Structure 1
Amino acid sequence: MDNKLGIGALTALVIGSMIGAGVFSLPQNMASVASPLAVMLGWGITGIGMIFLALSFQQLTELKPKIDSGVFGFARAGFGDFVGFCSAWGYWFSAMLANVSYLVIVFSTLGLLFDTPDNVLFGSGNTVISMIGASALLWIMHGLVLRGVKTAALINMVTTFAKMIPLITFIICAAIAFRWETFTLDLTGLHFDASYDLWAQVKGTMLITVWVFIGIEGAVVVSSRARNRKDIGRATILGLLTALSIYVLVTLLSMGVIKPVELAGYQNPSMAKVLTAIIGSWGQYIIGLGLIVSVCGAFLSWTVLASEAPYLCARDGIFPKKYLTQNKAGSPVKSLTLTNICIQVSLVFVMYAGSTYDTLLIIASEMILVPYLLVGAYALKLAIEQGKGSQLLFIGMGASIYGIWLLYASGLDYLLLSSLLYFPGLYFYLKAKKEQGRAPFIGKEKWGLIVLTMAAIAAVVLIVTSGISV
């Protein structure tokens, strides 16, 4: 049986990974932090930046065919084992939290559809009933992935096509209902505080726009399972352009249907409320059903991507070797189990801490920023060291600048707080090196550990002195 993935399955994996829950909450998420003009500027910056990142993936997969460990494989090749591990851990942690957020938004949507003021069953996806339902869905997906990545990819392809139906329906309806006077009523965000100017609004959109593009690397992460390596880059570019078109249309058309200041107060998934305002009560059911199908597909994609990370790291010697274990279908059993146990524990925390989809969005987005930056940095380094020509140099420089901009726009506080989340991963890295009888930190890697430790100490001081919660 051929377990390799073709261009269709790879493209569906990229689109399915990116278009999950985020698109259904985009209208409210963006309106709450930015005016229509700032949103257009934000999408412009993000679109250009993500194109540079996608081109970096395309170039690197062709120039370095032996690197098939995805995002973190490039970081390891360019900057050593420890940096590669940190990239992998940040990526895995982000993927794991993305799956938690998907489960939360599914049951939050059920709350939107079926809860009443006198009978709250699902709430914001963080009630006991929601946790039980989310746990059941988690382990059903676990069973599907155990049947093999090929099977999971085929199911994802079906759900990717299915999720397009409500999205296209929304775009058509919103385009018909769009009013220019509504869109331009508060074009620059005069309703925001005076200190929150246009530039601050653009910065405010960055974590949201990054969140909905997480998954652009889907084809790269499973590159070892691709039938043709050239399909990896093609799938990445095609998936990016498809998702970008949908995101821009959904966001901007919504702001021409509902005043942004009103849109900002909508409950998520806000797309349901917008469509309800256009066509009536059927709107929330169309979007609600579309979201559940979309999220289940994205959840399946991300279960595959998250479980690949520890497996590939174990193969590269930066994760304990027991995570190399595969079943007869080729699924990484130990890696999948570790990922889903962590998701299950996180669901319990979500219930007791009362965390919401928006909270998980911020943490997951922050954890992916460094891995993305390292991809651009490796492309730039490769171009300089090997004289690969002006094209790769331009692409690597563009992706690196975008990565640095994201870290700046997200804020130093979030970056410092995210450093704390890297420390639990050191257990796996140190254990892997002990198994090999090798020193865990060699040469400049010691400086990497020092920088990470100093950032974590600064984060603790920030929490204590400022009362910021993690």
Structure 2
Amino acid sequence: MASSTTGKLSLGALTAMVVGSMVGAGIFNLPGRFGTATGPFGAIIAWLIAGTGMYMLARVFQALAEKRPDIDSGVFAYAKAGFGDYMGFLSAFGYWLGSCLGNVFYWVLIGSTLGRFFPEIFGDGSSPTAIIVSLAGIWLFHFMILRGVEQAAFINTIVTIAKIVPILVAILLFIFAFNYHQFSENFFGGVGMPEKTLVAQVRDTMLITVFVFLGIEGASVYSRFAKTRADVGTATILGFVGVTGLMVAITLLPYATAPRAAIAGVTNPSLAGVLELVVGHWGAVFISIGVLISVLGAYLAWSLICAEVLFAAAKSKDMPKLFAAQNGNRVPANALWLTNIVVSLFVISTYWSRDAFNFMLDMTSVTALLPYLLVAGYGVLLARRGEGYEATPNERRRDQIFAWIAVFYTLVMFVAAGLKYVLLVAVLFVPGTILYVWARREQKAQLFTSTELIVFAVTLVAGLIGAYGLLSGAITP
């Protein structure tokens, strides 16, 4: 927890930041999303792929924290160090934007959870009432966070403990209700589900696995608040291992309690629906309360991360200096204001989405992939050059292999996401470049190098194609 005297975060508080960031909305939707896509066999393969890829990424974050202790707020700063100013900006903007979209998803999930009990009022989480409640919540949190980061980090630690309890109870109930015959019947696909190849089954789970691992870099983002620099890497690995175990259990155990078709048919949050199949209505109520606590806690963590990324990017002159301002409580107030204005606009836009719930989840996942790819790429560069490895040369080869696997994994995730989401992310990146131009003009610096101009041109063309697709109806949110 943050010390009242130093304002620094201990290993426990940093680990809670990782767990608090990762255990948010996604884990409560794993049963339904996996049930729709595949059976236990495909789920095991999907988790092996996702777990390996994200573990490699976690090891890259750990290595970079150790080898480049001079770089704070790691995610975009690593991209800048490795690939230049514009790629650093795109990483910062993409990570910030993905965090904003993730926060929108949290409010949609809150609305859909309340919609389980008040369907006429909240619907699927994108009804007018749900949007009004979400906007009220956004600004309530906004003014609370303005009171101070350390207090918010302390609340996050408490909430992290509170929200793990319903998940552990659900796991125990699933174990108690385990039916081997049902599990084996579902294993290769189950009865009454459409035929799909194993590759297609696994591909359809990929974006949800990216989403539930978002937050793995939570300690890295908050590295400037760490009491001990080495704690950043340790907290990342501890958080990853613990949360992965929870997610695999929440995915696989429901297959042993009900037919896959029943699991696929439950409403969101699907963990509540599946537990209701096992123990009755009280199970849905119990998990729904856990969802609300969990999501509000994760929203707090991600609001902090959003503002921190924008603030750190402004401090390093990758964003306009307007966002480097802090209030008397050391909170990046202007960054927080822009974040919550953008989140509010996206929440309002969910009214016109066909499936706001899954659309926001998938958009969040894809937006995070570029920052992750650039971090992995920088891990490769650093290990190849040997920077920071003077005292530990024997670690270079290992770290380079880990980083290459992380690069390959993130590229595979882009392919699994599909062209639609890549184009939609480009639509958002193009106007975002205005912030980059603003920052470069403040510094009277060169706008683009020749390579960066090519990257911008590709982004612009992709954005225009995406915008045309939206306007013509070829791409639907």
TM over 0.5: same fold? Answer: yes
The alpha-carbon deviation at position 394 of structure 1 amounts to 1.3
Look up the equivalent residue of 1:414 and give its one-letter code.
Y
Q: What is the match of residue 51 of structure 1?
A: 55
Q: Distance in 2 between matches of 1:200 and 1:254?
A: 21
CA contact (8 A) 1:104 1:125 kept: yes
With normalisation by structure 1, the TM-score equals 0.96
Q: What is the match of residue 161 of structure 1?
A: 161
Q: Distance in 1 between matches of 2:261 and 2:278?
A: 18
- Show CA shifts across 1:57-92 (max 9, x none): 000011011111221111010000100111111111
- Show CA shifts across 1:127-155 (max 9, x none): 22212211221112112211211111100
| 2:77 is equivalent to residue 73 of structure 1 | yes
Q: Distance in 2 between matches of 1:424 and 1:34?
A: 38
Look up the equivalent residue of 1:17 and give its one-letter code.
S
319-328 or 273-282, which deviates more: 273-282
Q: What is the match of residue 243 of structure 2?
A: 243
Look up the equivalent residue of 1:445 and give its one-letter code.
E
Residues 168-187 of structure 1 aligned to structure 2 (within 5 Å) = 168-187=168-187
CA contact (8 A) 2:466 2:475 kept: no
Look up the equivalent residue of 2:112 and give its one-letter code.
S
Q: Among all aligned residue pairs of Structure 1 and Structure 2, give the percentage whose two residues are the same amino acid.
A: 38
Q: What is the match of residue 292 of structure 2?
A: 292
Look up the equivalent residue of 2:153 and give its one-letter code.
A
Look up the equivalent residue of 2:335 and give its one-letter code.
S
254-263 or 384-393, which deviates more: 384-393
> Secondary structure at 2:476's aligned position in 1?
coil
Q: Distance in 1 between matches of 2:468 and 2:117?
A: 43
Q: Distance in 1 between matches of 2:194 and 2:271?
A: 26
Residues 101-112 of structure 1 aligned to structure 2 (within 5 Å) = 101-112=105-116
CA contact (8 A) 1:69 1:312 kept: yes
Match of 1:91 among 77, 81, 95: 95
CA contact (8 A) 2:110 2:125 kept: yes
The alpha-carbon deviation at position 450 of structure 1 amounts to 1.9
| 2:105 is equivalent to residue 121 of structure 1 | no
CA contact (8 A) 1:102 1:295 kept: yes
Q: Distance in 2 between matches of 1:40 and 1:129?
A: 39
254-263 or 409-418, which deviates more: 409-418
- Show CA shifts across 1:178-204 (max 9, x none): 11211121322265544x300111111
The alpha-carbon deviation at position 4 of structure 1 amounts to 1.3
Match of 1:435 among 411, 428, 442: 442
Q: What is the match of residue 456 of structure 1?
A: 463
CA contact (8 A) 1:126 1:354 kept: no
Stretches of structure 1 lacking an aligned partner (at least 5 in a row): none
Stretches of structure 2 lacking an aligned partner (at least 5 in a row): 390-395
The alpha-carbon deviation at position 257 of structure 1 amounts to 0.8
- Show CA shifts across 1:251-297 (max 9, x none): 10011112112211110111112212222221011101100000010
Look up the equivalent residue of 2:319 and give its one-letter code.
F
Look up the equivalent residue of 1:49 and give its one-letter code.
G
Residues 343-422 of structure 1 aligned to structure 2 (within 5 Å) = 343-353=343-353, 355-386=355-386, 388=389, 389-422=396-429
CA contact (8 A) 1:189 1:198 kept: no
Q: What is the match of residue 24 of structure 1?
A: 28
Q: Distance in 1 between matches of 2:181 and 2:473?
A: 43
The alpha-carbon deviation at position 25 of structure 1 amounts to 1.2
CA contact (8 A) 2:193 2:261 kept: no
251-260 or 333-342, which deviates more: 251-260
Look up the equivalent residue of 2:109 and give its one-letter code.
I
> Secondary structure at 1:264's aligned position in 2?
helix
> Secondary structure at 1:297's aligned position in 2?
helix
Q: What is the match of residue 318 of structure 1?
A: 318
> Secondary structure at 2:139's aligned position in 1?
helix
Q: Distance in 1 between matches of 2:112 and 2:473?
A: 31
- Distance change >3 Å, CA 71–CA 384, structure 1 → 2: same
The alpha-carbon deviation at position 213 of structure 1 amounts to 0.7
> Secondary structure at 1:440's aligned position in 2?
coil
Q: What is the match of residue 4 of structure 1?
A: 8
Q: Distance in 1 between matches of 2:253 and 2:384?
A: 43
Q: Distance in 2 between matches of 1:236 and 1:284?
A: 32
- Distance change >3 Å, CA 289–CA 336, structure 1 → 2: same
Q: What is the match of residue 205 of structure 2?
A: 205
The alpha-carbon deviation at position 352 of structure 1 amounts to 4.3
The alpha-carbon deviation at position 458 of structure 1 amounts to 3.9
353-362 or 81-90, which deviates more: 353-362
Q: Distance in 2 between matches of 1:414 and 1:451?
A: 16
CA contact (8 A) 1:113 1:284 kept: no
CA contact (8 A) 2:186 2:255 kept: no
> Secondary structure at 2:380's aligned position in 1?
helix
CA contact (8 A) 2:420 2:475 kept: no
Look up the equivalent residue of 1:401 and give its one-letter code.
F
Look up the equivalent residue of 2:337 and give its one-letter code.
T
Q: What is the match of residue 150 of structure 1?
A: 150
The alpha-carbon deviation at position 23 of structure 1 amounts to 1.0
RMSD over aligned Cα atoms: 1.6
CA contact (8 A) 1:113 1:288 kept: no
| 2:467 is equivalent to residue 468 of structure 1 | no
The alpha-carbon deviation at position 442 of structure 1 amounts to 1.8
- Distance change >3 Å, CA 344–CA 438, structure 1 → 2: same
CA contact (8 A) 2:216 2:240 kept: yes
CA contact (8 A) 1:89 1:425 kept: yes
Q: Distance in 1 between matches of 2:174 and 2:180?
A: 12
Match of 1:40 among 41, 44, 48: 44
